[in-house]
Amino acid sequence: MLTGKQLTYTLLSTATFFFPTLVRAEANTNAYPAEVVQSFMQECTEKSGKKQVCACVLDRIQDDYDLEQFSKLEKKYRATGKIPKEVKKFMFGCVASNLANN
């Protein structure tokens, strides 16, 4: 089991940057393709061991970014190797929420 600090590091350092979700699709107009969701969830969960946190991050990003915007963020990540600040805020919030609930 990862500690909060390890989980944060894992999420921030992971090469996973496919962040759509269908968790709250009924309230979300930015539904991404299922294969993108599946790919992210599999890799994120394997690396972090925290399915809840991964789903939270994906959900929050999808709430704010349509597929075209997501693609631009992903390209930015691929070009720099750094997770964009727009995404980090979701990661920190989801990790904190997960820690508070456990």
Low-confidence ranges of the chain (pLDDT < 70): 1-29
CB neighbours of residue 6 within 10 Å: 12
* Domains in the chain: boundaries: 4-100
Write down the pLDDT at residue 8: 56
- pTM higher than 0.75: no
pLDDT in tens, 51-71: 999 899 899 999 999 999 988
pLDDT at 69 (0 to 100): 92
Cα–Cα distance measured from residue 42 to residue 14, given in angstroms and rounded to the nearest whole number: 12
CA 33 – CA 14 distance, rounded (Å): 21
